[in-house]
Structure 1
Amino acid sequence: MNKSLKRYLLIFGLGAIVLSGFFAFKVKNDKLFALAKNIDIFATLVRELDSYYVDEIDPDELVTIGINAMLEELDPYTTYIPEEESADFRVMTTGEYGGVGALIGNRGEGNIIIMPYTGFPAQSAGLKIADQLLKVDTVSVVDKATSDVSSLLKGPANTEVFIQVKRGEDTLDFNLTRRKIVIKNVPYYGKVDSHTGYIKLSDFTTNASNEVRNAFLDLKGQGVDRLILDLRDNPGGLVNEAAEIVNLFIPKGKDIVKTIGKLENVNYTYKTTKTPLDKDIPLVVLINENSASASEIVAGALQDYDRAVLIGRKSFGKGLVQTTIPLTYNAQMKITTAKYYIPSGRCIQAIDYTQTRENGELTTVPDSLRKEFKTKNGRVVLDGAGIEPDELVATVTYAPISYSLVARNHIFDFATAYAYSHPTITDPSHFAISDEEYKEFVSWLEGKEYDYTTYLEKSVNDLTKYAEKEEYYDDIKSQIEEIKKKVNHSKEQDLITNQKEIRKILSEEIVSRYYFQEGMIEAGLVEDPAVKAAIDFLSVPNKLEQTLTASSK
């Protein structure tokens, strides 16, 4: 190559670099200008509205609505957190707050105690489920919103608070000292048979991994040699806690999850950094459609390393990572910054929010575009739609009468009345209402409203509507009316037909009056189809090993 040609190519190359830099600079500047221009327009618009609009406006409220509407165009996880909501956000991420330790809610007749947490001031002082809140300090809370009552109950640890409640016909006063409340990530653990331990993990806030660790060590001390980890209905939380939990069962130095985003500083690989507690114990993980985010990282990583068998239903499918960014005036924004990828390389995000924004409809990844990945042993797993269990357990469905009895608070109210007249009951795993007590419940329901539409009645109603649309109704009207007479439900008969499931729901609610959240979970494990499937699975010699090999797929 001659010197003049070399010189030409060098000048051309330098020119191309400068030109590309210029265009990149121009694009960036154009974007910054558009951003500044629109922010200025927005600020001017709010200012002029405040000056000229015929009625008074609240600029804070108006701007917050505007911000939330803008963020709704992205995904449901990118959210604005104004200063006044920062405390609630800290509770969600840390599980800690200052207060009395009770979940409150409104059941139609004012604010009541829904659940006092074991060992905290409300429960220790003797407050009970269904106590109706009348006063907090000097403030009447009879007609206040639940959120306002919750704010009054919260406060710095070691401060006093006066609470007045109505219990049945009695009015009771309590003087409590607020404490630092730490909501448990593991609300219950125990043995479900002589060999099998069970751990319920309901959240991934601070200290979740230590709670699982301590529960597991305690169970091992009781002679447990197989384990069920229940992640059903767990919405997720802190990724580092998920990584630590996986590390309890996976050897040191293994990838658990990678986060990959637009900026380099959000790209990170979480690895196991410690010697596991037990890398061999037979392990089953329970998941369902409400297991999301960090739950899916734990379940997915254990599945990808063929360390656990997953039983239940397909998980939620949230493969997005959020970062909290501080804003001015103590506000914050929780923003989606990355996608996460579990050890096999798959991302389990189910909804494509880019496509959703474009066509206005919730768009999921079609089956035809889901990619195949492989576990450590060569089993095929798919991306794009959550974590699929190795063994499916059907959804538990309840009769319409059961839904109605719960929704109209009849189960709740009868359990409260039962607890007032029965000082003690047996332990949660063995308690069940007797035949005579169920008859008392049926008698107690007389005169109470709990009407509902059965599935068969709904089908007949749908048939009538379709017949009317097709102008066939006059021809088959008499037949439809005859069918309606035959299927018109008898509430008394439904109470007999669905007695088994109603009694189970009622028994669990009654248990909560004596043993609180822990007891309610323990009682719920009895005849739980997923737990039963896990116990059966672990009881069959070599079944777990066979499932976790490539030949079984």
Structure 2
Amino acid sequence: MIKYFKNIPLLILAVIIGVYLGLKLSKYISIDQSQAEANKLSQILDYTEKYYVDTVNSKKLVENAIKGMFSSLDPHTTYIDAEEQKLSEAEFRGNFEGIGVEFQIIHDTITVVSPITGGPSESVGIISGDRIIKIDGKNCIGWNNEKIIKTLRGSKGTKVLLSIYRPSNKKNIDFTVTRDKINLNSVDISIMTNNETGYIYLTRFSETSKDELIDALGKLQKQGMKQLILDLRNNPGGLLNQAVFISDLFIDNNKMIVYTKSRVPSFNEEFRAEKSYPFEKIPLVVLVNSGSASASEIFAGAIQDWDRGLIVGETTFGKGLVQRPFELSDGSAVRITIARYFTPSGRQIQRKYTDKEKYYLQALTREEKEQDNLNHQAEKDSLKPKFKTNAGRIVYGGGGITPDYIINAGRITNYSIELRKNNVYYLFIRKLMDKNGFDIKNKYGNDLKKFINEFNFSESQINDFIKFAEQQKIKFNNKEFSQDKDYILTVLKAFLARDLFNREGWYSTMLKRDVQFQKANSLFEEAKKMKGLKN
């Protein structure tokens, strides 16, 4: 018996050693299994290359294998080829190097929609409506988008010779443009819509978004802004840190903004407000829709959970997964989901994705009843988990951010869809400006307010537009035209305003009939009642 007790420490030691060796061995077994699977793929590729009946593209086979592997995971874990990765990096950086024009190909010809403000093309005098017919002496009629972009982009400081036909004076003009860094602004527009209300449209969350937004807010405050509508509609998201930075502009006192949970402990993170900004008490209304995703939902969720402002529009997309990019040796990359994110109240935003074929369609075809939804009765009968905002309001998780005021954007008829899809609005305005641009510019000059208040299309111009659309093979439908007439004429006027006054003209025109914006604009008294903002 005494001998038995003396051996206990040795038994414990043996167990510990056994467990340790077992763990180590399981690790190596796991590695060996992974290596075996990799070898299996390599063998299959080798056999296919050697024996398949036709010549195969090995690169394509590998890319398809990766895509097939990811197809069993979530919808946002993806493979990105090298060319797409370059464009993606430029978008996240918020800049690229080139000549700085927005263009469209019309009848095989590169047509300048707009020179980018402050860019090299604008500085040499290229204007909207110019046709680029030669690039460095080479005829570029018939080039596709990819070839045009590849040719016009280039290193900062390099020069390109553009031969341009200008319809207003029926002359060819040569311009030498020196390429420069072109900013892809995430703040598409920042304007005052009345004496007190600022409006900012944020299109993405890139590396420059926070700085752009601070500049825009500062500019609007100098113009008298006392309240803000921040538009995140169709903002697909972007960088997590930018969502945190931008939330910090409006949320105070070290409050939680978002946190992440992962299988890998080092990916579990908390993000809180850190700095004090002069925008933390400004009455705020945020516009969202089904195209608002990821970083947009982080921001909207934090604003809603802290009762910091009002969310207006339609329920957001429902993407609550965090991706990390891993660049591969050939310049391609994979974006792998590493964590889930949660709003301050604990809501997970991610929708179910068991049926991936319907995943994207569900968000776009979602039907919602318009209602004041401050207490979120719209989701009351759902199976989604309940949470509470800082002020005790019930909100729900597991399916995007549902607005405090649900306002549908409204549906348009097939006739209107075909007009926009086939670029008829722009083509007609381009034709109108080629013919009458001098007279229109001479009448309105730089006076956008005068244009908004006074310009209307005449009956003959409306009839010309209908005939022009028919020439573009858009069959006229009187019932649908009558139903959408106000919308059609507003969009047509907005295209003209953009040609005359750039983005400010476009937004100033479109916001006049934007029902979601108009609702947001009516809610500032309610926004002021939110916690911390009451006078």
TM-score by length of 1: 0.82
Equivalence for 1:98: 97
What is the rounded CA distance, in whole Å, between the counterparts of 2:459 and 2:7 in structure 1? 96
Q: Distance in 1 between matches of 2:104 and 2:7?
A: 78
Tell me the CA shift for residue 510 of structure 1: 0.8
* Structure 1, 505-514 or 211-220: larger mean CA deviation: 211-220
The residue aligned with 1:345 is 346
**Alignment match, 1:306:** 307
Matched, 1:515 2:501: yes
* Other-structure match for 1:527: 513
- Counterpart position of 1:65: 64
The structure-2 alpha-carbon separation of the partners of 1:222 and 1:383, relative to structure 1 and needing over 3 Å to count, comes to: same
* CA deviation profile, 1:64-98 (whole Å, cap 9, x unmatched): 23223322332332223344444212112111111
Aligned residue number for residue 316 of structure 1: 317
- CA 1:41–1:13: 2 relative to 1, 3 Å: same
**2:307/2:530 contact within 8 Å kept:** no
Aligned residue for 1:121? 120
Shift of 1:10: 5.9
The one-letter amino acid paired with 2:59 is D
Q: By how many angstroms is 1:321 displaced? A: 0.9
The aligned runs of 1:435-514 (5 Å cut-off) are 437-446=458-467, 448-449=470-471, 491-492=477-478, 494-514=480-500
Q: What does the per-residue CA deviation read over 1:469-519, in whole Å, with 9 as the maximum and x for residues that have no partner?
A: xxxxxxxxxxxxxxxxxxxxx735654553211110100111111222343
Point out where structure 1 has 5 or more consecutive residues left out of the alignment: 454-489
Which stretch has the larger CA shift, 322-331 or 203-212? 322-331
Q: Which residue of 2 aligns with 1:265?
A: 266
Do the aligned partners of residues 33 and 246 (structure 1) sit closer, same or farther apart at CA in structure 2, a change above 3 Å counting?
Answer: same
SS at match of 2:523: helix
Q: Which residue of 1 aligns with 2:399?
A: 385
Distance 2:179 2:151 in 1: 11
Alignment counterpart, residue 422 of structure 1, candidates 437, 444, 448: 437
Residue from 423, 431, 450 that aligns with 2:451: 431
For residue 388 of structure 2, the aligned residue among 360, 374, 378 is 374
Distance in 2 between residues matched to 1:225 and 1:335, nearest whole Å: 42
Contact 1:228–1:283 (Cα < 8 Å) also in 2: yes
User: Post-superposition shift, 1:39?
Assistant: 1.7
Report the count of equivalent residues.
505
Deviates more, 1:169-178 or 1:19-28: 19-28
Partner SS, residue 278 of structure 2 = coil
**Structure 2 residues without counterparts, runs of 5 or longer:** 364-378
CA gap 1:415/1:261 in 2 versus in 1, 3 angstroms: same
**Quick check: 1:208 aligned with 2:222?**
no
Measured in 1, the distance between the counterparts of 2:527 and 2:266 equals: 40
- Once the two structures are TM-superposed, the CA of residue 452 in structure 1 deviates from its matched residue by 6.5
CA distance in 2, matches of 1:92, 1:243: 19
The offset of 1:451, in angstroms, is 6.2
SS at match of 1:103: strand
1:343-380: CA deviation from partner (whole Å, max 9, x where unpaired): 1111101133xx447xx764999975421111111111
On the 8 A contact 2:108/2:143 being kept in 1, the answer is no
Distance 1:153 1:31 in 2: 50
Measure, in 2, the Cα distance between the counterparts of 1:273 and 1:320: 24
What CA distance in whole angstroms lies between the structure 2 residues aligned with 1:117 and 1:4?
89
**Alpha-carbon distance between aligned partners in 1 of 2:424 and 2:227, rounded to the nearest angstrom:** 39
1:204 Cα deviation (Å)? Answer: 1.0
**What is the deviation of 1:21?**
4.4
CA distance in 2, matches of 1:252, 1:6: 60
1:407-447 residue CA offsets vs partner (Å, 9 max, x unmatched) = 23321111112222123136445535855534223135327
Structure 1 residue 132: Cα displacement: 4.4
Alpha-carbon contact 2:409-2:516 (below 8 Å) kept: no
- Partner of 1:459 in structure 2? none
User: Is the deviation greater in 521-530 or in 51-60?
Assistant: 51-60
Counterpart position of 2:183 = 182
How many Å separate the matches in 1 of 2:514 and 2:528? 24
Q: For the residues of structure 2 that align with 1:264 and 1:249, how far apart are their CA atoms?
A: 29
Measure, in 2, the Cα distance between the counterparts of 1:167 and 1:310: 46
Please show how residues 31-42 of structure 1 align to structure 2 within 5 Å. 31-42=30-41
**For 1:135, what is the secondary structure of its paired residue?**
strand
Contact kept? 1:404, 1:451, Cα under 8 Å: no
Q: What residue is the counterpart of 1:159 in the other structure?
A: 158
* 1:289 counterpart = 2:272: no
Deviation at 1:157, TM superposition (A): 0.6
**Distance apart, 1:340 and its partner CA:** 0.9
- What is the TM-score of this pair, normalised by structure 2? 0.85
Q: Helix, strand or coil: the match of 2:458?
A: helix
Alpha-carbon shift at residue 165 of structure 1 (Å) = 4.2
* Superposition map of 1:214-253 within 5 A: 214-253=215-254
- Measured at CA, do residues 505 and 438 of structure 1 come closer, stay the same or move farther in structure 2, by a change above 3 Å? farther
What amino acid maps onto 1:52 in structure 2?
A: Y
Cα distance change, pair 398–146 in 1 and its aligned pair in 2 (3 A): same
Letter in 2 for 1:237: G
Asked whether the 8 Å contact 2:308–2:530 carries over to 1, the reply is no
AA aligned opposite 1:61: K
Mapped partners of 1:332, 1:9: distance in 2? 54
Specify whether residues 177 and 40 from structure 1 end up closer, same or farther in structure 2 by C-alpha distance, changes over 3 A only: same
User: Which residue in the other structure is 1:395 paired with?
Assistant: 409
Is the contact between residue 257 and residue 343 of structure 2 (CA under 8 Å) also seen in structure 1?
Answer: yes
Q: Which amino acid aligns with 1:309?
A: L
Task: Kindly report which structure 2 residues correspond to 1:323-338, keeping only aligned pairs within 5 A, or say none.
Answer: 323-338=324-339
The change in CA–CA distance for 1:15 and 1:500 in structure 2 (over 3 A counts) is: same
Does residue 198 of structure 1 match 2:192? no
SS at match of 1:446: helix
Instruction: Tell me how far 1:326 sits from its aligned partner.
Output: 2.9
Seq. identity, % = 29
Post-superposition Cα deviations, 1:519-538, rounded to whole Å, max 9, x if no partner, equal: 31232221211221122111
Q: Which amino acid aligns with 1:62?
A: L
For residue 144 of structure 1, report the CA deviation from its aligned partner. Answer: 3.2
